[in-house]
Each structure stands twice: as C-alpha cells, then as structure tokens.
Amino acid sequence: MNGVLDELKWSGLLAQSTDEEALSAHLDSGPVTFYVGFDPTAPSIHMGNLVQLIVARKLQAAGHRPLLLVGGSTGLIGDPKEGGERTINTREVVAEWVEKIRSQVSRFVEMDGPAGAQLVNNLDWTAEINVIDFLRDTGKHFPVNRMLARDVVAKRLESGISYTEFSYVLLQALDYRELFRRHGCTLQTGGSDQWGNITAGVELIRRSEGERVHALSTPLLTKADGTKFGKTEQGTVWLDPERTSPYAFHQFFLNVEDVKVIEYLKVFGNRSREEVTELDRANQEEPFKRAAHRALADDVTDLVHGREEREAATQAAAAIFGREELSTLPESMLSAVAKEVGGGVLDAGADLPTPVDLLPAGGVVDSKGAARRAVKEGGAYLNNTKVEPDRGEDPIGPEDLLHGRFVVVRRGRKTVGVVELRR
C-alpha cells in the first residue's frame, strides 16, 4: 500500500475511497495535485475543518500538491443540511468570510516549494457562467433520480428543500472538473458527509472528459455518546482565537473522554506510532496521570495557536487552580479564562465586596450561607489565598483586584469562578 494511505489509515483518517488500489498506484506514480474545499458559512473554520487540513498536510508531506478551495460561490448557496434550509448570507458577508478563511487555512500548509499549496476561489469560474451554459454543459450529466437518492436530499424531501440547495451538488462537481482542467487536479478529499458531492465530481469528469480521477473521505469524529465532536455547551470549537480562546481550546482537548483520547491523538497529534502506543498503555494503566490528554492538548494547540499561546494557556490553568502566581497572567488571558470557567459580574459601590459576597457571585457556592460555611471550614480561597474564618465578612482591598477588576474565587481544589467588579 502507498505510504501516505497507510498513514491515513493508521491515523483513522480514511473512511472511503473510489478505488483504494487504483488510488494507491496513482499516488505512487508521482506528485498528485489534490484539492479540499471550505465553504464560508461562518467567519472562521472549526475542528471539522482542521481534520481536512491535517489530511492535506500529510499528503503534502508525501510530496503531493494541495489546492485549498474557499467557496466564494458555493458559500452563496449553502450545502443542504438535514435540519432545514440554510440562511443565505449577503455577497458582502460571504466575501468578507472568504478572506478570513483563506488567511486561516493557508497557515496549515506550505505555500512554497515544489509541492507548494495554492489558494483558489470557485467564484473565479462560476461568476461568468450563464444559466443556459451551466444547464447544457453541467446539468445534462446529472440524472435527477440519483440526485433525489442522496441521503440529505431524501431526508429533506418531506419537509421541503429549495432548488437552490438541491442544485449545490452540481456546483461542487463543477469545481472538481474546473480544477482538473486548470491545474491537473486528480484527487479530491473531504469529510464522509460530503461523499455524495465528491463522487459527483468524479462522475462528471468521467462523463464530460472521459478521464478517471480519484476521491477519498475522512470519517466524522464523534464523542463516546455518538454526538458531534468539537461541540461544547458553549458551542462550536473554532480555530479563530477571538471565538475560542487558546485557553478554552487547550482545555477542550485536555478534558476529552478517556475512551476517545487515543483516537483523537492519532488524528490531531504529532507523535510517532511508538509514542502513541506508549501513551495508550499509560492511559490504560495510569489514567490519573492524564499523559495522553496532555500530549493531545499540547500538540493540537501548538498546531493551531503556536507554542507560546499553548504555554500561556497551561500557565493560566496552573494559576487558576493554585499552582502558579495569578498576578503574572495578562489581562486578556484572565478575561478569556473568566469566560471559560464561568462566574459573574458584580456591581460594586464605594465599598468593595466581602469574600462572602464574592463566592456566590463567582458561582462556586449557591448562597451567602454556603459561602460562610465554606469560609468556616477552611475551603474558601480568593486569588489562591485561603480566606481566614474571621475575615469572611471583611471587605477586600484594592490590592485584591487583578488588573483592577477581577477576583478569582475557589472552593476546595477544583471549583473555580472569576468575578468581574464594575465600579
């Protein structure tokens, strides 16, 4: 088997391929130009998109050339989803998101060298196509009965699907043919939920060009309960640090389920097979050490945000839980931590609040009565300093405010909150 295909299989990144033996031979025959697409349905890419970028990185490392397509035209339409019709965004919004995503995806591949990646936008070739030419040159190759049989379309037929979303598959197939014509692209990659769209492009090239091209898909990663990976109670885990802070990003991977950590480490980590095997052993024999979780969180945060941001995130976590000095945390990091661990805002007048006021405001106890009990029992902390039993109802001082507005409250070892004071 081709080496990169073997690597993708071991990593759990190969779900389907058009013809694995033929694809293996094709990849062995020399550098292959391949593409993966990203539609601008939001101003940032997310964890599902990162899976595709990791596939692109592995293929590029094996000498193959990536085309990263950001869908300036397909983003105006929207791929059908099971939940119902997508909101159609304005051209201005889509154009803005295209530029943001182009900037994001380009950081994950090498742009120079013989296998240097190229960014492409499908609006470049669809903007000038008229309806008659599109129907004659592309639409005639798509039997409607096969379009109706696609899973997402079949599920939407009863509730309703617009012709706009129904026709999306034609546009994505057109992209593959256009990249085949312009760049000699002979492989498309994507998530398994895109398999119908991907193989439509393979079929269009066969019908209209008489050529054989290839496709592969990755499995959709899930949590142990089968729900979508990359979702939290707060929402999607984004790659944009303004939407998901490096601290929250690192914490997400640090807290993945034990039964899933090795699976995710193979996908997102930067470890040899021997290292992963050893981390798997440690995860089973000494799960309390969480060595695999730390390796996963560190590797993927380094990849997405860089080592410096990852080190700041780990320092912040240590400080919040009493192992490092809180005063060293930058205000931006403390603000990000506050959003992640929870807490509240307290309007303070001329007199600053007491620890008994702050503990419930930070969400670490339910009431002032519970706060008094925590103080009495010696389990209440402000900025990692134990609140002495006789000081629970004394106002804090200005020196207790981190960056002039934050107080970190803690009950016991693990229940933490951040209170922001407004004066």
**pLDDT tens profile 387-410:** 998 898 899 988 999 998 999 999
Q: Above pLDDT 70, what percent of the chain?
A: 100
Q: Is residue 320 part of a domain?
A: no
Q: Indicate the annotated binding residues for ATP.
A: 231
**pLDDT tens profile 351-380:** 889 999 999 999 999 999 999 999 999 999
Same domain (yes/no): 373, 404: yes
**pLDDT tens profile 107-162:** 999 999 999 999 999 999 999 899 999 999 998 998 887 877 777 787 887 788 88
Work out the pLDDT band at 333, boundaries 50, 70, 90: confident
CA 45 to chain centre: 6
Q: Indicate the annotated binding residues.
A: 35, 168, 172, 231
- The phi, psi pair for 117, rounded to 5°, reads -75, 160
Same domain (yes/no): 86, 109: yes
CA 132 to each of CA 62, 73, 122, 135: distance values in angstroms, whole numbers, following the listed order: 42, 18, 19, 5
CATH number for the domain that contains residue 337: 3.10.290.10
Same domain (yes/no): 82, 180: yes
Same domain (yes/no): 241, 350: no
CATH number for the domain that contains residue 260: 1.10.240.10
What average pLDDT is seen over the chain?
Answer: 91
CA 173 to chain centre: 25
Same domain (yes/no): 282, 208: no
Q: Which of 251, 273, 305 is the last residue of a domain?
A: 305
Task: Give the closest residue to 217 by CA, choosing from 1, 5, 64, 3.
Answer: 5
**pLDDT tens profile 223-280:** 888 888 887 777 899 999 999 999 999 999 999 999 999 999 999 998 999 999 999 9
Same domain (yes/no): 273, 283: yes
Same domain (yes/no): 239, 371: no
Q: Which of 167, 186, 220 is the last residue of a domain?
A: 220
Amino acid in the structure at residue 184: G
Q: How many CA atoms lie within 13 A of 109 on its CB side?
A: 36
Q: Is residue 317 part of a domain?
A: no
Q: Is residue 410 part of a domain?
A: yes
| Total structural domains within the chain | 3
Domain that holds residue 410: 329-422
CATH number for the domain that contains residue 184: 3.40.50.620
